[in-house]
Structure 1
Amino acid sequence: MWKVMRVWRCGGVRWAHRQRPSNELLSELSFDQHYKIRSNIGLLIQDYASKPIAPLDYEYFLQYRPPLTRKEEYMLTIKTINLLLSLTCKRLNAIQRLPYNAVINPHLERTNSLYLKSLQTLLPVAYPYELHNPPKIQAKFTELLDDHEDAIVVLAKGLQEIRTCYPQFKISQFLNFHLKERITMKLLVTHYLSLTAQNNDESDGNTIGILQRDLPIVQLVKHVSDYVNDICFVKFNTQRTPVLVYPPAQDIAFTCIPPILEYIMTEVFKNAFEAQIAHGKEHVPIEVNLLKPDDDELYIRIRDHGGGITPEVEALMFDYSYSTRSQQPSDDEDSTDLPGEQINNVSGMGFGLPMCKTYLELFGGKMDIQSLPGWGTDVYIKHKGPSKAALLAKR
């Protein structure tokens, strides 16, 4: 079907510029023209993929603060687009390097098409004029988020289907880089959208993009534990499991990215609650210890009495696609949204704890697990936040 793209008047005559469908145009190209186009796209992907990218850190999120000047907004837009282009091409390059029997998998082919569409969204930005059009850039970034809404689920299904013909250690290696760079893309986009939104509204100074100053951690623990308790009550029809937080008399304020910490605690609480319910210990309190030795460090220990885990299972806890569940739950049972994601069917795919570990390590934190079979499990979380000097630095 022909599409009318633009209509204007010239000398009293009404003209219409029509764009022909891409599939019709491609069908008229010769083999040499097809090959030249594909080669140029491939060279473009390789060029962007070869560009080095510094690890994402809190200094990046603090370099611009609301209200932004026009120059700051312009520079933030350039940096964000360039980083997204490089990360998108790195993922495309990695997918296309997979063996043939992996690339032709329908779910991996869909993942590849998704990143090609992201490239198509980012490349047409007209420098420098469109960089001064925040609504248009925001629309492109919002489209990017919407396109990647179910990307992890699609990728996970594809990798599960090729496990019999592709070594597990190579799948884990691929996922380590893929999810780390995907998380980076999500954080870049959500930070940009949050920061530009704060630039248009009156900011209270407690939020800088996706960063929140002095987040009350005890309140967050209670919020997450209540949420997981509600899920378990609906799913297992058991009594609510008590949660004890130490120290109980005071809250701890910590500057961080709230959705990340909320996601990590949700995953750990889900495992702890379900383990205690499975062993008939839902009446025994789950213990949470909080410690903030410095402004930029937060330590959390979550202890359950769910019978512990065997050394064989403990060794696999951070492996992608390893899950102790025999089947995936339905959408209305057990679901956890990833930060920046609007999906609820990742549960049971073995991505929970590996994703937690990836989020923590991205900012210099870590996660350790100690378990005593027949007794219970301790999960130790070290979460790093921005330094006091970085927070107080002048613009």
Structure 2
Amino acid sequence: MNLLCGFRYVGVSSGLLRHRYQHLAFRQFRLYSRWRKETLPRGDGRDRSTGLNIPFEDHYKIRSHIELLIQDYAKKPIPPITYEYLTQYKSPLQNNEEYMLSIQTVNLLLCYTCRQLQAIQNLPYIVVLNPNIELANTLYLSTLETLLNVEYPYGLHHRDTMVSLLTNFLEEHQDTLTTLAVGFQEVMKFYDHDHVFRFLNLHLRNRISMKMLATHHLALLEQSDRFHHGIRSNDIGILHRDLKISNLVEQVGEFVNDLCSISYDLNVPVNIVEGHDVSFTCIPTSLEYVLTEVFKNSLRAHIERSNAENLLTQKPVEVTIVRNDNELQIRIRDFGGGIPPTVEEKMFDYSYSTVAEKKNDTGAEAYVLPGEHVNNVSGMGFGLPMCKAYMEMFGGRLDIQSLWGWGTDVYIKLTGPSKEMLQS
């Protein structure tokens, strides 16, 4: 029984219609997956042609049904992840709540996975042929297979099944974006830059949503388990109630200064000018990522443009924290000379480098401190675009104002959930 039938078992109107070909596609996808595993060349060069022997016509039909399945789910409307969604269930979860959450999570992951696959398949053939992009495509096909292998609806009653599925998903997709970034850097000269930007922008936001769904689900299960052991949590899944923002700023500042110590053997002080006691309900991991990227740019600017006259390594980067009801604003001000006008208009482009152009430079060192490993998304021109995506996901903003020759102000604006959503 497929996932869409599972919606009817719990009386939830999914708004998704099941087509006749889907039952066949579910079975044939598994057959096709077995065929791929048993017939494609091995990494050690040995032949695996002794696997499933599928005639060409049957193979073509299987591929056609799979394509129809992907296209169907890719077209399903997906509601945005909102605070209403994140706060609909709170620990301790009742059995029916946990079941409903499992159905929602898996169904959304299925739709997102098909959207990612369709977007990759719609790329020009010469782009899809790139080994790194093909690797990303194969990984999403594997995720689709895993989601379809869940026994619906009864498999969703087993917590271990969901924990294993979501944990493996997060582990397998840990480096997906890095793989895609490398692939697009290799094919950029064959593909229009604007098309690359649109693809990556959509792919990035879908990926953030998928990882957020999985992480939130696992966090709710963990908090529910802790509640039954007498440990109450102030969190709601990935939402942290009343997070002390200054503590997070200080932790991120220390982390980035550790990177500076390794790379430059220098540190830059981070001074919280206002807002030491401000607390706010938000997703700490998202804010932490944004703060890290901003501090990396600001501290690097202070260090690289410091001299005997300005002593920028001794001048603090200033942080101001202000809260107004369910809105939080953070201003990070540096005095590192600002952003050149030619760079400022491109700083939200993917794979754009702020590092001085070098021979054979592909832009992979954007936002990277010297000494960092380049196999890092934030080092591939994805830093600021990802920050922007994180902030806009829940109605926030990321604004940058720079005065060339003086310094840069970065404004982080967050909108939090209402008090009614947080009530137990």
TM-score (norm 2): 0.83
User: Residue by residue, what CA displacement relative to the aligned partner does 1:308-358 show, whole Å, maximum 9, x if unpaired?
Assistant: 11111111111111121356569994379xxxxxxx622421000110000
Q: Which residue of 1 aligns with 2:268?
A: 241
Q: How does 1:205-284 map to 2 (within 5 A)?
A: 205-238=233-266, 240-247=267-274, 250-280=276-306, 281-284=312-315
The aligned counterpart of 1:85 is: 110
Distance 2:421 2:262 in 1: 44
Give, in angstroms, the shift of residue 25 of structure 1. Answer: 7.5
Q: Distance in 1 between matches of 2:372 and 2:320?
A: 25
Judge conservation of contact 1:206–1:213 (CA < 8 Å) in 2: yes
> Which one of 291, 294, 319 corresponds to residue 349 of structure 2?
319
Indicate the residue corresponding to 1:365 in structure 2.
396
Q: Which runs of 5+ in 2 are unaligned?
A: 1-33, 40-48, 307-311
How big is the shift at 1:27?
Answer: 4.6
Counting only pairs closer than 5 Å after superposition, residues 1-395 of structure 1 correspond to structure 2 as 22-23=38-39, 27-202=52-227, 203-238=231-266, 240-247=267-274, 250-280=276-306, 281-294=312-325, 296-325=326-355, 326=357, 333-334=371-372, 345-392=376-423, 394=424
1:339 is matched with: none
Q: Aligned AA for 1:334?
A: E
Output one character per residue of 1:229-251: Cα deviation in whole Å (capped at 9) or x when no partner.
1110111012x211211226x41
Counterpart residue identity of residue 174, structure 2? E
Contact kept in structure 1, 2:223 and 2:233, CA below 8 Å: no
Q: Contact (CA 8 Å) 1:335, 1:346: kept in 2 or not? A: no
Q: Separation in 1 of the partners of 2:409 and 2:372?
A: 22
Deviation at 1:302, TM superposition (A): 0.4
Worse-matched range after superposition: 202-211 or 172-181: 202-211
Instruction: Give % identity.
Output: 52
TM-score by length of 1: 0.89
- Larger relative helix fraction: 2
After TM superposition, give the deviation of residue 256 of structure 1 in Å.
0.6
How far residue 205 of structure 1 moved from its aligned partner, in angstroms, is 3.4
Q: CA deviation at 1:204?
A: 2.3
Q: Deviations over 1:201-255 (max 9, x none)?
A: 12423111111100000111111111111110111012x211211226x411100
Most deviating of 41-50 and 381-390: 381-390
Query: Over residues 11-67 of structure 1, what are the superposed CA-to-partner deviations in whole Å (9 max), with x where a residue is unaligned?
Result: xxxxxxxx9974357652111110111011111101111100011111111000000
Shift of 1:142: 1.0
Tell me which moved more, 61-70 or 347-356. 347-356
Give the conservation status (yes or no) of the 8 Å contact 2:226–2:232.
no
Which residue in 1 is equivalent to 2:29? none
Which structure has more strand as a fraction of its residues? 1
Query: How many equivalent residue pairs?
Result: 365
Within 2, Cα distance between the matches of 1:331 and 1:152? Answer: 20
Structure 2: how far apart are the matches of 1:137 and 1:88? 17
Q: In the superposition, relative to structure 1, how do residues 332 and 114 fare at CA in structure 2: closer, same or farther (>3 Å)?
A: farther
Deviations 1:243-301 (A, max 9, x none): 211226x411100110100110010000000001011111111110111011x211010
Q: CA shift at 1:200, angstroms?
A: 1.2
Contact 2:246 2:272 in 1 (8 A): yes
Would you say the 8 A contact 2:293–2:378 is kept in 1? no
Corresponding residue SS for 2:409: strand
CA distance in 1, matches of 2:240, 2:140: 30
* Runs (4+) off by over 4 Å: 24-27, 326-332
Q: Deviations over 1:103-123 (max 9, x none)?
A: 111111001001000001110
Contact 2:327 2:414 in 1 (8 A): yes
CA distance in 1, matches of 2:50, 2:114: 25
